[in-house]
A and B are shown apart, each in its own frame.
Chain A
Amino acid sequence: MRTMLRVAARSVAASKARMTLSVVVVALGVGFVVATLVLSATINAAFTGLFTSGAADVTASPRAAFAVEVEDQAISGSVPTLPTDAVDAVSRTPGVAAAHGEVATQDVTVVDAAGQPVGPESGAPTLGYNWYLRAHPIATLTAGHAPAGPGQVVLDAPSAVAAHLDLGSPVRLVTPAATTGATLVGLAASAGTNPGVGLVFLDTPTAQTALLGQPGRFTAVTADAAPGVDDAALAPAVARALGSAVDVATREQQASSAAARVASFLSTVTYALLGVAAVALLVGSFLIVNTFTMLVAGRMRELGLLRAVGARRGQVTAMVLGEAVLVGLLGAAVGLGAGLGLCAVLEAVLRGLGIDLSAVGLVVPGYTAPAAFLLGIGVTVAAASGPARRAGRAAPTEVLRESAAPTETGTGRGRVLVGGAVLLVAAGALLTAALLTPRTGDLLLGGGLFALGAAASLVALVLLGPALARLVVAALATAYPRLFGAVGRLAHGNAVRAPRRTATTAAALTVGVALVTSLGILASSLDTSITAQVSSGLGADYVLSGRGGQPLPPQVTDAVRAVPGVASVTRQRYAPAGFRGAQVSLSGVDTATLDAATAPQYVAGDTGALARGQLDVDQASALADGLTIGSPVHLTFVDGTPADLTVGAISKPPPGGGKDGSTFQVSLDTLARYQPLAKDFSLSLLAAPGAAAGLGPALHQALAGDPQVSIQNRADHQNALRGQVDLVLELLYGLLALAVVVAVLGVINTLALSVVERRREIGLLRAVGATRAQIRTMVRLEALAVSLHGTVVGLVLGFGWGAAGQRLLTGYGVTTLSVPWATVAALAVGAVLVGLLAAVGPARRAARADVLTGLAAT
């Protein structure tokens, strides 16, 4: 076995140039995975550090009926609090060195004298706290003094600097509870890593009135442990002192629950990025398959010799696999380095955007390196296993074989039959998903079928590829001989001589083109659906909401009502509620004007049911939870208030709208019965006849003092929705570019290797009089045939996925199928150009080939 390994190592060394691109694609895929893992771990650590750096040894907070997601705590308006007594009770507990009342909130907007918002522009929240001496400080003062007395505020230095605020500058603090004037008396720097949030500190009484609107109340009680007292031992004592109405957490528990919350948010992003990496690796594995296939084919004589002198089949196979391991090892090592490098670059970029992760540094989880090598070697070995088995089948008589570049014969009838069957399964699954889902609204089943269909169509692509290549390439290239004469005939012959190789090369391009096409169709459909809905004349003329997603103070609603030309104001409030152990968003709406303002679409029931105190549930949740008209629903609010409601209506979510997960809806009156403190979250305005044009300026004027309110008319609303769609789309296109790059590398790789493989043929052609230009044309035409094939099949596949996806998401408001023809045309032209571009290097090399090298005896 040692000998075989030595042969393997020397083979890799001897065919360095041919292995280069295989190493590169492995490195690209692995690098992307490494970067994703490290970056998500780093961001996780940074946010966890932020949430826990200020955590006290033991924190007691009002018991929540269920765990509320961070971003939803702000919107309910009903912040649960503890009284001052609780602080006293904790301070009397043995083992407690000091107890403090804490006020913490996210519902704060800082505004400068000119009415401009102060704070992070990245969309990160501004957190408000009362200032007190902490054992584990959130922030430390860098200038001025601590807030003492009403009208004194300390801000985080980056926010103040960005807004050109100096000590003594006047600011206003806007919260759902109140708007408070204040003077900047100090600047603070975050004690841990600050991933870009804004910080506001007030003295305790001011914080209670300005931030909470509840004098004498606290959001939590914190305790510093006496020296030598264990946090874990202290926590139960604190809990006993306060009774059953509180949740108690140690510093360590705070940290882990914060980490879990951040992780659950990050995991979506992480999975999306890993998905992209998987696509890149899949596409890259096609390249590796081709490389090894061609290396094995070119070495049949050598392998035959090994067999002739006594190597067993298994040994020959193991030798080729050994080469794959080396390539994978090398690719993984390069990818690991590149991924870490990429993270360092990204960290610098983030720092430029105000997100400073330097305090945590790059967090490289222990599993990163093993994962990188496992992935790199695994993918390479899996891709090389087919060629390796073929190498093992090399007959000892191969030594005697005349060596011409191999021509494949047959595409395998069994393979075609199985491929056809898989294709039928794929089509069936996609069709079922497309036809069934809009009717039932069962996204889970539909999504599963869709995923099955997409996966099956990929498998069918691989199985049917060679037969398809022979068909499609032959059809595409029939015109070649007529258009390009002898060179065309040669190119045609070369493109169809190895259908399996052509198929594998084209498959990489096919996957990229199919993904881009289907995403383009989905985005275009969503866009068209939004436009159709918004321009249908239904719905509000203006929608007002808080910029950071915070609720609107009551005076905003009053001010809006007073603006002339406003025909109706439809309020919407939110409260997080627990339903069967999961969080749902329960909104309360003005039922009198709802139909005109938001044009809800009901599957069953109507707005009248809400007015009668019944519940409206969204179609997807109704299906998932088995709810029908008349079903009883038991909800629990954060403060523990129970609510028993009856389903009176089932509705469809608006295009591009709705929050993730369940959205339940009741009338404002119903909501007020359980959550009287809930604040207005958004206002939908209808203009009086003829007043719509002048309404915008009037609203801006009326709300000049409330810059945290975003005022959107229909076009703004449409653009905002579109902007979100476009942002996601651009991001995905950018990431898919990785797959396309790998596909292009694949085309280059195959062409380059086939030029090497056909050295003698090209030499012969040159000897009998083919000019260099003719050789170049021949290689380019081959590339054109392959990339056209990949593009055509990719477009067909992409149309299938896109159309099925649109039907699948009908329930999410993607109601109209729309094909972005311009994008599709650009994609087709681009893919063909890419093919030609890929041929530049190999064509030049082929043309430069020495006539005599080709003719030299073997």
Chain B
Amino acid sequence: MSIESGHRTETVSPSTGPLPGQRYAARAEGVSKVYGSGETRVTALDGVDAGFVRGELTAVMGPSGSGKSTLMQCVAGLDRVTEGRVWIGEQELTGLPERALTELRRDRVGFVFQSFNLLPTLNAKENITLPADLAGRTLDTDWVEQVIDTLGLRPRLAHRPGELSGGQQQRVACARALVGRPELILADEPTGNLDSRAAGEVLGLLRRSVDDLGQTIALVTHDPAAAAHADRVLFLLDGRVVTTLRAPSAPDVLETMAGLEQDALGSASAAGEDTRETGR
């Protein structure tokens, strides 16, 4: 039961954190998520406690159906929890009305998804400033320019997504997330559709924005090489956080994952995300 002990030592203890907003950019406490009811009832998250430390890159790993995407969607305010509580900074999300949740997402969370990150009718620059434009907020121009230059997007600003490579599109998505200086950036499999060189670029970029800019990032991935860029890695299995590694190497991650998958094979079911409606 070494896994269990690791779980206990590293995750937040809800009752003890005196000012959690100072240490954690985002935090989940006893979060459960249940889809459907009766025979089709699926428990995607089962009492998860997790915290995302400010100024760190936290990776969330786990086999398919472990609940890692669900956890991140709940933490980022994309989805609502069935039970438990969630905070972004000091703001509790649970019970927040729809409109307030939308505005919180817009103003305090940045997103980078696996695919389909950009609006096809807007050019790169317009995509980068979209959340601010939707909010009617003016961005810090110097900061925007700095981000654009850092990400090497200056020559591409007038291009539409259709005219950009996958790596370039993902860099535009990163820029969109960064320019708002959000509390938390959620990157959900951001390298899933990229070749290894482009993936390396994007991961390096995320690492630098943590190191140089003090950004907090949550990275959902199942690629051990990607997870190796993280300060901490949370491992999920069957809707629970089962272990945590600190600044691991890729082989460490690989080994832990292999152990988890052994467990998964042994367990009765591996439901979770796969049963969700995924469109056509």
Q: A interface vs B, CB < 8 Å?
A: 402, 404-405, 407, 485-487, 489-490, 493-494, 497, 759-761, 764-772, 774, 851-853, 855-858
Contact = CB atoms under 8 A, between A and B. Distances in A.
A494 B121 CA distance: 7
Given A769-B102, A857-B115, A852 B73 contact: yes
Interface string B91-134: 00000001100110111000101111111111000100011011
Given A759-B279, A764-B116, A857-B115, A493 B121 contact: yes
A856 B162 CA distance: 20
A764 B102 contact: no
A295 B97 CA distance: 36
User: Which residue of B121, B130, B135 has the most chain A CB atoms within 10 A of its CB atom?
Assistant: B121
A772 B120 contact: no
Contacts of A856: 276-279
Nearest to A771: B102
A772 B121 contact: no
A494 B105 CA distance: 24
A767 B114 CA distance: 14
Contacts, number: 95
Contact of A404 (B106, B111, B120, B130): B120
Contact of A761 (B78, B103, B120, B136): B120
Given A769-B102, A772-B102, A857 B278 contact: yes
A771 B100 CA distance: 9
A409 to B, nearest CB: 9
Contacts of A761: 116, 119-120
A402 to B, nearest CB: 6
A852 B126 contact: no
B115 A402 contact: yes
Nearest to B136: A485
Q: How big is chain B's contact interface, by range? A: 35 or more
Contacts of B120: 404-405, 407, 497, 761
Nearest to B279: A856
Interface string B42-80: 000000000000000000000000000000010000110
B272 to A, nearest CB: 14
Contacts of A851: 78-79
Contacts of A404: 116, 120, 161
Contacts of A853: 277, 279
B122 A490 contact: yes
Nearest to B73: A852
List the 5 closest A-B pairs by CB distance, nearest first.
A769-B106, A493-B121, A486-B133, A856-B278, A769-B131
A407 B121 contact: yes
Nearest to B121: A493
B68 to A, nearest CB: 13
Contact of A768 (B73, B131, B280): B131
B279 A764 contact: no
Interface string B16-38: 00000000000000000000000
A785 to B, nearest CB: 13
Contacts of B134: 485-487, 765, 768-771, 774
Given A493-B122, A856-B276, A858-B278, A769 B103 contact: yes
B240 interface: no
B269 to A, nearest CB: 21
Interface in B150-204: 161-162, 176, 193
B21 to A, nearest CB: 21
A760 B116 contact: yes
A752 B1 CA distance: 54
Given A759-B279, A856-B279, A858-B278, A485 B133 contact: yes
Contacts of A857: 114-115, 278
A855 B112 CA distance: 11
Nearest to A759: B279
Contacts of B193: 402
B98 A772 contact: yes
Contacts of B122: 489-490, 493
A852 B98 contact: no
Given A768-B130, A769-B105, A857-B115, 19 more contacts: A402-B115, A404-B116, A487-B134, A494-B121, A764-B113, A764-B119, A767-B111, A767-B113, A768-B106, A768-B134, A771-B99, A771-B102, A772-B99, A774-B134, A851-B78, A852-B73, A855-B113, A857-B278, A858-B115
Nearest to B98: A772
B109 to A, nearest CB: 8
12 contacts: A402-B116, A404-B120, A405-B120, A407-B162, A485-B134, A486-B133, A493-B119, A765-B119, A768-B105, A768-B111, A770-B102, A858-B280
